[in-house]
Amino acid sequence: MLVVMHASATPEQIEAVADKIRQLGYIPHVIPGATRTAIGITGNRGPEGREVLLMMPGVEDVVRVTVGYKLVSRETHPEPSVFPVAGTRIGGGFTIIAGPCSVENERLMMQTAEFLARCGIRLMRAGAFKPRTSPYAFQGLGVEGLRILAKVKAETGIGIVTEVLDTEHADEVEAVADLLQVGTRNMQNFALLRRLSQARKPVLLKRGMAATVEEWLLAAEYIVSGGNRQVILCERGVRTFADHTRNTLDLSIIPVVKHLSHLPVLVDPSHGTGRAEYVPAMARAALAAGADGLLIEVHPDPRNALSDGMQSLDLEAFARLHASLKPLADVLRVELL
Ligand code: PEP
Ligand code: MN
């Protein structure tokens, strides 16, 4: 259920309704809106308590939310969410997050951060902890990688997006990251999702490689229902019969997610195609499809990258792509952040 308060409801009336919801044995989630506050209710099995709540001062209506992913749904929160991240924002514009697949060494990270800053990019991606298909592949620098990211952030001011692979290292990653990435293989790692529901940093939740839209939104609901409202989704391609690209980048899910949920959604055309030459076309397509931004792999020397070199743009190719997005954003009347 969702309690819709009057536009003129006072903070005391909102708190009284939240208290009543707790007395009923449910959990209230206060959702401030542009014109009015709503209070989402979870933990209830049906509409019990609806009458009591309807009679309280300041309450305009109590409506049923028909979908399972209640707090991330448009029914609960009609306006699109916008989250501030490291001096920029995600939502209500087109935000680009770029950088290498992995943190490889300090020199490479500094070079990339300085280049991105010159392009006006505010957020850099790079994994310190890497989820690799093979146990023999480069697993990332781990804690040493976090130290490098912290140093590059301190020296350049760039915001850091990096993956949190397990609950064990969540504190250390949270201390450095401005945005906590959950990888495709972890989308349904419920212990990790619960831990991140306690985080004070926003979470970038990648779609599982075989996840339906409902499974994806329910994974987001784990984080939001636990208390962390700042969830950003990221489509990165799914498994299909097609083998002409690494994954099948499912851009058709963008308008669907936008319809069902208020959360921002990014597109990762790097993992979505697996080949640098196909990345620019899909990056522009993501902008046209209504995505809120990109997560894109960029490396100063892709041929010698320790992971995902084939799908990483070199600096020049990234600069060209970036320049090509501007006129497109203008035509679409989207703000390039
Ligand atoms: C990555 O972003 O480098 C990554 C490992 O992504 P995914 O979880 O989508 O495979
Ligand atoms: Mn990668």
Q: What is the pLDDT of residues 11-44, one digit of tens each?
A: 999 999 999 999 999 999 999 888 899 999 998 8
What single-letter amino acid sits at 334? V
Helices 106-119 and 143-156 cross at an angle (nearest 10°) of 40
Which two structure tokens, joined as six digits, stand for 119? 């392009």
Q: Using the atom order of ligand 1, give the atom closest to the CA of residue 236.
A: 9
Q: How many residues does the chain have?
A: 337
What is the model's pLDDT at position 15? 96
What is the model's pLDDT at position 33? 85
Say if residue 66's pLDDT is above 90. no
Say if residue 119's pLDDT is above 90. yes
Taking CA atoms, 37 is separated from 4, 30, 71, 228, in Å, by 7, 7, 14, 18
Say if residue 95's pLDDT is above 90. yes
| Contact yes or no for 332/288 (Cβ under 8 A) | yes
Which ligand is the nearest neighbour of the Cα of 130? 1
Question: Cα(308)–Cα(301) distance, rounded to whole angstroms?
Answer: 11
Centroid of ligand 2 to alpha carbon of 126 (angstroms): 8
User: What residues are paired with 162 via a beta bridge?
Assistant: 180
240-272 pLDDT tens trace = 999 999 999 999 999 999 999 999 999 999 999
* Segments in 120-247 forming alpha helices (H): 143-156, 170-176, 190-196, 213-225
Q: What is the DSSP string of 206-249?
A: EPPTT--HHHHHHHHHHHHHTT---EEEEE--B--S--SSSSB-
What is the model's pLDDT at position 157? 96
Q: What does pTM read for this prediction?
A: 0.94
Centroid of ligand 2 to alpha carbon of 208 (angstroms): 14
Task: Report, as an integer, the average pLDDT of 203-219.
Answer: 98
What is the model's pLDDT at position 142? 96
Centroid of ligand 2 to alpha carbon of 31 (angstroms): 35
Distance of CA 125 to the CA centre of its chain: 13
Nearest CA to ligand 1 atom 9: 184
User: Of the candidates 2, 18, 7, 21, which has an alpha carbon nearest to the alpha carbon of residue 58?
Assistant: 7
Nearest CA to ligand 1 atom 6: 183
Say if residue 48's pLDDT is above 90. no
Q: Using the atom order of ligand 1, give the atom closest to the CA of residue 102.
A: 3
Residue 188: CB atoms within 10 A of its CB come to: 15
Say if residue 211's pLDDT is above 90. yes
Say if residue 320's pLDDT is above 90. yes
What is the model's pLDDT at position 145? 97
Question: Confidence class of residue 309 from pLDDT cuts 50, 70 and 90?
Answer: very high
What is the model's pLDDT at position 45? 82
Q: What percent of the chain has pLDDT over 90?
A: 94
CB under 6 Å to ligand 1: residues?
Answer: 101, 127, 131, 183-184, 206, 236, 271
